[in-house]
Each structure stands twice: as C-alpha cells, then as structure tokens.
Amino acid sequence: MLEDRMFVIAGAGLAGAKAAATLREEGFSGRIALIGTEPELPYERPPLSKGLLLGTAQRDDAYVHDPDWYAAHDVDLRTATTVNAIDAEKRRVRLSDGDDLAYDKLLLATGASPRTLGVPGAGLGNVFSLRTLADSDRIAETVRAGTRLVVVGSGWIGLEVAAAARLRGATVTVVTPAALPLRGVLGDRLAKVFLALHREHGVDFRFGTRVHELRGGPDVAQVVLADETTINADVVLVAIGVTPNTGLADQARLPVGNGVLVDRHLRTAEKDISAAGDVAAVDHPLLRARLRVEHWDTALHTGPVAARAMLGQDAVWDRLPYFFTDQYDLGMEYAGWVQPGAAAEVVIRGHEQGREFIAFWTVGGRVAAGMNVNVWDVTEQIQALVRAGLDGHTADPARLADPTVALPELLA
C-alpha cells in the first residue's frame, strides 16, 4: 500500500544518499526529497584526494548511485538547492528554490566544511581547500610537474594531496604547527612512519610554525611563515580540518555541541529530526562517549541506521570508527578509538621499517585500536579485539607482537 508520508533529507552526500536507498530497501513507499547544495549527484569524497588527482579513478566511480537510480526509486533529488530553514513546530523546511516542504521525518546529513585560513592573502587565486569535486578538479588542473605546492596542515587530506602532487611531479612543502604529521591521531612513533614516507618522496616539512600571510596577486606567489621565512608557491592547499555544518540545527534550536547531538538511534532532541554522517555527534553505546567521526565508513553506515530509526525500527549505531588512507605505495586501515588523553601503549606486529605491520594501541592492556599498514584482510579481526577490549579482555603484548600467533587466538 502506498503511503503519503514525506521524508526530507537535507544534504545529498554519502550519508544522505545512503539513507534514501535504505528507506526504499526497507519498503518505505512514501515520498523522499533529497536536497543538496552542490550541483553534482551525490558522490563519495575519498577519491578526491587520491585517484582523481592521480588519474587512477574516474569521476563516475565516485557517484553513490547511477544517475538514473533516483528517478527509478522515486527519490526527488534536488541538486544545487539548499535547505535554508527548518520550522520544527510546523515540521516544514524552506528551500533556496523558494519551495516550502512539509515533512514527517527530517534527516540532517549536511556534512562539514573546510576551515579557512584567517590570514591576509587567504583569498588570493590558487589558494584552495579540498572538499568538493570542483575543488579536486581545480587542484588537478593547477598542480602539475614543476608546480610549487605548499600544503598548510599535516592531517590526512594534506598528506594525501602531498603524495598525489609529488607523484604528479610537483614540489611540495608541508607547513604545520605540529611537531610531526598526524601526531594527534597516531602519536609520535607512528607519525614518524608517515614522516619518513613523505621525506623519502621528497616532501619538505616546516614543523612548529604557522602561516602568517599569503602574498601575491592575483594568484598566490609566496607563503610567509610566523618566523618571517618565505616559501615561493604557485598553489596553496589549506587542509586544517573541517567544522560540522550545524547551521540548520542551530537555527531550529536543536542541541548542538561539536556537531548535532543525537542519541544511539541518531535522533536529535526533536523526535522527528535525525542526523547522520560528519555532522552528527553520536552518543556511542559501546564506546560510552559522544563521537563525531569524519570518516567515509561512518557516513556509509549512519545514513542507513538513521533511515531505519526514522521508520520506527530499533536501529542503533554501534560500529567502531574505521578509516583508511592511501599515500604512495602505503595503504592503511585503522579501526577502533583511543580516548583522547588516555595513556596508550603501542605494540607493533611486523616490519615497521619495511612499512608492513599492524600497530595496536592498548590502554590498560586492552586493545583500543589497531592500524594495518600494507597488511590486508585483518580489519574484522582487529575490530573483534577492540570489542573484546571493551568487554574487559586484556591482550598479552608479547603475543600481540608475535606474527606467529593468529589474531583470533588472542581472543581465547
């Protein structure tokens, strides 16, 4: 039987597009409007800093669904359209195209936006951030052999673009206030693995410093650092993190912290409004913490969980955080979560120097997270160890480090 309920999804990224698909898979026969600011069909972002810059991936590969999927599933996809306001009392949303839609359920899947560099010259030409397909196209057009690229920030996206740019023949300098790349996420020992990798590929790092000013005109020509040293630059990538797009939730007076606050079912304080993906700060039942995870896997799975909960099912988001990166010939997956400030020990299984190993972070003897570098098909086993750790299981560090002990044996 067809029903006349209307579900509106604000944000047509991975979380939003997956939520729409799940609604149909679960048999929802009401109306679905999927509203997205970008002019593109919903797409996945990981290729933007990897395959699309390297020429190993095609644009079409990034799309979440085929172009004809939306009409075939009766999903009213409105691209280049923004949800401007929510009236939670009347359960209506106002769109930038002038339309005003009534909803029964609303999903906020508005993602996150890159932080900008608040220094003079930040608006010069060839100063980019990387969030959208259009950003990736611009970087691909401007970063060629011989281009002098300065990357501001030494997180995942900055390093992935640094790697792609080196492989395109550009000169790359990374500027960061940190003492090591990725130090905040990985700690000193593992951060040094990434530092060595990039140095071997000719990336120059400037640690412990900030960008003071960008000079040039109309395009950037120089990056001036806090100590007044200058770096000549043709292109600057600003990769200093993102902030969640909570504007709609703020306007609707929903509880917002570092993201839109949602329970384990991804519902906000307003029962008919849910949130998923990068924008959602979830009360995670297993980790017993509020988590906002900016990873592809989270968008992929929170969209469907939110959709099921919107249909009244007892759906819960209790997956462990998972992410991956590819830089040069290093492929890596990371699963689990180390509580910020926890005294974690690192145990390595395999060849750290040869970049073929698994690193475990243990807290109080329990495995909190694991990262496999150029070792494959172990993610589920690592996740099982982390789940066991959450149940109080401790792992002997000597056996964790011993590659002759199969990972499942550590659960015994």
Ligand X SMILES: Cc1cc2nc3c(=O)[nH]c(=O)nc-3n(C[C@H](O)[C@H](O)[C@H](O)COP(=O)(O)OP(=O)(O)OC[C@H]3O[C@@H](n4cnc5c(N)ncnc54)[C@H](O)[C@@H]3O)c2cc1C
Among 86, 88, 157, 165, binds ligand X (CB under 6 A): 157
DSSP 3-state of 218? coil
268 binds ligand X, rule: CB under 6 A: no
Token pair in block for residue 27: 């048999």
Q: Closer CB to ligand X, residue 176 or residue 302?
A: 302
CB of 3 to ligand X, least distance (A): 25
Q: In whole angstroms, how close is the CB of 412 to ligand X at the nearest point? A: 31
Distance of closest approach, residue 245 Cβ to ligand X, in angstroms = 5
The Cβ of residue 355 has, within 10 Å, a number of other Cβ atoms equal to 19
Using the minimum distance from each CB to ligand X, give the nearer residue, 195 or 260.
260
The beta-strand segments (E) located in 22-139 are: 31-35, 75-78, 83-87, 92-95, 100-102, 105-108, 112-114, 127-128
- 277 lines the binding site for ligand X (CB under 6 A): yes
Q: What is the C-alpha to C-alpha distance for residues 149 and 143, in angstroms, rounded to an integer?
A: 7
When asked if residue 186 is in the footprint of ligand X (CB under 6 A), the reply is: no
Residue whose CB is less far from ligand X, 239 or 400? 239
| Bridge partners (DSSP) listed for residue 307 | none
Enumerate long-range contacts of 246-252, CB under 8 Å, 24 or more apart: 246/110, 246/279, 247/110, 248/10, 248/83, 248/85, 248/86, 248/108, 248/110, 249/108, 249/275, 249/279, 251/85, 251/86, 252/85, 252/86, 252/87, 252/88
- Restricting to residues 362-401, name those near ligand X by CB under 6 A: none
Contact present, 108 and 10 (Cβ < 8 Å): yes
Q: Which helix (H) or strand (E) holds 272?
A: none
Please identify which residue in 130, 172, 261, 310 interacts with ligand X, judged by CB under 6 A.
130
Region near ligand X per CB under 6 A, out of 29-37, 65-73, 281-289, 404-412? 29-37
- Binding segment for ligand X among 64-72, 168-176, 296-304, 389-397 (CB under 6 A)? 296-304
Residue 114 β-bridge partners: 242
- Tokens matching residue 79: 């691209």
Residue with Cβ nearer ligand X (83 or 367): 83
C-alpha pair distances (Å), 42 with each of 11, 232, 236, 296, 342: 9, 37, 27, 13, 37
Residue 109 binds ligand X (CB under 6 A): yes
Does position 197 interact with ligand X (CB under 6 A)? The reply is no
**335 lies in the binding site for ligand X (CB under 6 A):** no
Taking the complex as a whole, the smallest distance from the CB of residue 364 to ligand X amounts, in Å, to 27
**For ligand X, the closer CB: 262 or 410:** 262
Shortest Cβ 171–ligand X spacing (Å)? 21
Q: Which is nearer to ligand X, 234 or 294 (CB)?
A: 294
Contact 379, 403 (CB under 8 A): no
What x/- string results for residues 31 through 50 when contact with ligand X is judged by CB under 6 A? ----xxxx------xx-xx-
Does residue 295 belong to the site contacting ligand X (CB under 6 A)?
Answer: yes
Q: Does 121 bind ligand X (CB under 6 A)?
A: no
Q: Is 323 in the site for ligand X (CB under 6 A)?
A: yes
- By CB under 6 A, residue 180 contacts ligand X: no
- Cβ-Cβ contacts under 8 Å for 400 (sequence gap 6 or more): 347, 349, 360, 362, 367, 410
How far apart are the C-alpha atoms of 410 and 146, rounded to whole Å? 50
- Is position 112 an interface residue for ligand X (rule: CB under 6 A)? yes
Q: Are 222 and 214 in contact (CB under 8 A)?
A: yes
14 binds ligand X, rule: CB under 6 A: yes
The answer to whether 282 contacts ligand X (rule: CB under 6 A) is no
Asked if 82 touches ligand X (CB under 6 A), the answer is: yes
Question: Which CB atom, from 124 or from 164, has the smaller least distance to ligand X?
Answer: 164
Query: Three-class SS of residue 267?
Result: strand
Counting contacts by CB under 6 A, is residue 131 touching ligand X? yes
Cα separation values, 50 from 22, 167, 251, Å: 28, 11, 36
Enumerate residues 226-245 that contact ligand X by CB under 6 A.
245
What order do you get walking across the sheet with 345-351 strand by strand? Answer: 322-327, 330-336, 366-373, 356-363, 345-351
φ, ψ for residue 298, nearest 5 deg: -70, -45
- Spatial neighbors of 412 by CB under 8 A, at least 6 apart, are none
The binder of ligand X chosen from 28, 69, 317, 324 (CB under 6 A): 324
Identify which range of 182-190, 322-330, 348-356, 363-371 contacts ligand X by CB under 6 A.
Answer: 322-330
Q: Which residues bind ligand X (CB under 6 A)?
A: 10-16, 35-38, 45-46, 48-49, 82-83, 109-112, 130-131, 157, 245, 248, 277-278, 294-297, 299, 323-325
